[in-house]
A = this chain, B = another copy of it.
């Protein structure tokens, strides 16, 4: 598949550039503090689904514009929470609504490439839960204010963050953050382990993240990455079953070109040139039960 022209996708809330295997996603509604609106959802879902299937994209890196007043100021609350619900939802009842934060979370989560985020400004609510938690690797500016205001607004944590944050950091930190409705900075002990790298100067966050992104795009195998992510998130809750699963993973990968290239390059003390694409895994992945999330109408 040839690479996509990301300038022709009709994105209005983001810009996408490709730089040596890295898809750079820039939130571009700085004037509105990148609040989370309908266009954000549509654009991110579309973009990450493309990245997932575009073999020219090996790493995705999201960030905000350098001079934006915020990375993402959260949901647009001027119309209240009720504006979340379409007339259709109102009619179909409690089980028909699908949280837009979670739709974004799942789009990023499903992407089989390495997903990174460079948080170079303040972030509130879904600006953390939907845009940061589903990523694999997070960079942040030390001065970023991060707010988890849910219980102080009469609402519960969304965007599948009640799934992700406990698994990322453990339940003790997750409950402290969710139930106090805290505003913290990335070096808070309550966030320990969430950010791969925290940088003192705002302007250094994106370049540092991009440098790692380019290293990973050049030196990691896409198939190895796709399998590694799935082993962590879609593994079994029993060590023996996981042993059987990862044995098969190694068997499948070792018969591909990338494993051979990886070992050969290592022996020859040169950088590897990986060429396998995730599509080659499709006979085996997904091995897990896929749960449909699109709601069905109860009424004709």
- Can you tell how many copies of this chain the complex includes? 3
Is A143's beta carbon under 8 Å from chain B? no
- Check B160–A172 contact: CB distance below 8 A: no
Most chain B beta carbons < 10 A, residue from A194, A233, A235, A242:
A242
The residue on B at minimum CB distance from A171 is B167
Is A228's beta carbon under 8 Å from chain B? yes
- Check A239–B106 contact: CB distance below 8 A: yes
Contacts of A89 in B (CB 8 A): 251
State whether A256 and B154 are in contact (beta carbons under 8 Å apart), knowing that A162-B228, A193-B189, A248-B97 are contacts in the complex: yes
The residue on B at minimum CB distance from A99 is B247
- Check A153–B99 contact: CB distance below 8 A: no
- Check B85–A154 contact: CB distance below 8 A: no
Contacts of A239 in B (CB 8 A): 105-106, 109, 160, 163-164, 233
* Distance in angstroms between the alpha carbons of A154 and B170 in the assembled complex: 29
Is A261's beta carbon under 8 Å from chain B? yes
Size of the chain A interface, CB-CB below 8 angstroms = 112
Instruction: Pick from A35-43, A48-56, A76-84 the stretch touching chain B.
Output: A76-84
- Residues of A with Cβ closer than 8 Å to B? 77-78, 80-82, 84-85, 89, 94-95, 97-99, 102-103, 105-106, 109, 114, 136-138, 150-164, 166-176, 178-181, 189-190, 192-194, 196, 212, 216, 219-221, 223-225, 227-229, 231-233, 235-244, 246-264, 266-267, 272, 274, 276, 284, 289-293
